[in-house]
């Protein structure tokens, strides 16, 4: 007989795997709209650590006045990253997400001064964002079939010179090719003199595995760059 915790995790796996069946942007938005209400509780079951890991990385390198810094939270979802960064003293957040229901939950958090609906990879970030943010962060969305790696340049464009860009991705087998392409793009950006790497943090226990061919925990990585 399954314990309540096991049963909950099995239900969570079914939700995640159904998301992978969405192939078009419209299908993905529809899925996340239906998931928004229980998203926070569900990813807690997944032991999803990426928001806190990203916030820790940013806090360890950010040298400005945190209370005055303006953070762009891309693919902000319900606001998990802003919640973690607020624990480190950051107070000003602008959120962008493609899903209106997720933005509604983020709005309820009371942490964001502004929230905009935009599907990254298809819609450009608003022009007024260029060079506006002390910190730009994207957690959870950089993965195969979600957002193209070239979006890293859009994130850089929104960052002030000297500001931080923080990105995360998974290191599991299903995301190997995407991760390699992302790192190739980041290397090109460095070679072009656009940014410099501050820290790359490999994490063994990123989140609980949900695919049928993986067990235990999958690994992930946090990238932190500074715009030159």
- DSSP per residue, 85-111: HHHTT--EEEEEES-HHHHHHHHHHT-
Residues in Cβ contact with 162 at an 8 Å cutoff, skipping those fewer than 6 apart: 226, 227
Give me the domains of the chain, ranges plus CATH numbers.
Answer: 46-227 (3.40.50.150)
Residue bearing tokens 């926070």: 40
User: In the predicted model, is pLDDT for residue 4 greater than 70?
Assistant: no
User: In the predicted model, is pLDDT for residue 18 greater than 80?
Assistant: no
38 C-beta neighbours (distance < 10 Å), count: 12
Q: Residue 122: helix, strand or coil by DSSP?
A: coil
Q: Which residues pair with 62 in a beta bridge?
A: none
Condensed to tens digits (0 to 9), the pLDDT of residues 183-210 reads: 999 999 999 999 999 999 999 999 999 8
Condensed to tens digits (0 to 9), the pLDDT of residues 20-40 reads: 677 777 888 888 899 999 999
Give the integer Cα–Cα distance in Å for 129 and 93: 13
- DSSP per residue, 42-53: HHHHTT--HHHH
User: In the predicted model, is pLDDT for residue 156 greater than 90?
Assistant: yes
Question: Residue 72, exposed/middle/buried by CB under 10 A (0-12, 13-18, 19+)?
Answer: buried
Give which of 137, 79, 81 is closest to 109, Cα–Cα.
79
User: In the predicted model, is pLDDT for residue 97 greater than 90?
Assistant: yes
pLDDT given for residue 2 in this prediction:
32
User: In the predicted model, is pLDDT for residue 17 greater than 50?
Assistant: yes
């Amino acid at each position: 007989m399954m314990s309540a915790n096991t049963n909950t995790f099995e239900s969570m796996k079914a939700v995640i795997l159904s998301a992978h069946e969405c192939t078009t942007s419209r299908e993905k938005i529809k899925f996340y709209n239906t998931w928004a209400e229980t998203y926070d509780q569900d990813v807690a079951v997944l032991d999803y650590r990426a928001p806190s890991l990203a916030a820790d990385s940013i806090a360890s390198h950010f040298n400005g006045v945190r209370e005055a810094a303006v953070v762009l939270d891309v693919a902000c979802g319900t606001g998990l990253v802003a919640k973690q960064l607020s624990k480190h003293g950051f107070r000003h957040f602008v959120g962008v997400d493609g899903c209106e229901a997720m933005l509604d939950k983020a709005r309820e958090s009371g942490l964001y001064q502004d929230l905009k609906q935009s599907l990254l990879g298809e819609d450009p970030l608003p022009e007024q964002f260029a060079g506006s943010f002390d910190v730009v962060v994207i957690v959870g969305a950089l993965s195969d079939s979600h957002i193209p790696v070239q979006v890293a340049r859009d994130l850089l464009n929104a960052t002030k010179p000297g500001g931080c860009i923080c990105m995360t991705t998974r290191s599991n087998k299903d995301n190997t090719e995407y991760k390699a392409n992302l790192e190739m793009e980041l290397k090109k950006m460095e070679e072009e003199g656009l940014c410099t790497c501050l820290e790359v943090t490999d994490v063994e226990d990123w989140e609980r595995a949900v695919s049928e061919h993986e067990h235990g925990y999958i690994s992930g990585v946090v990238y932190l760059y500074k715009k030159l």
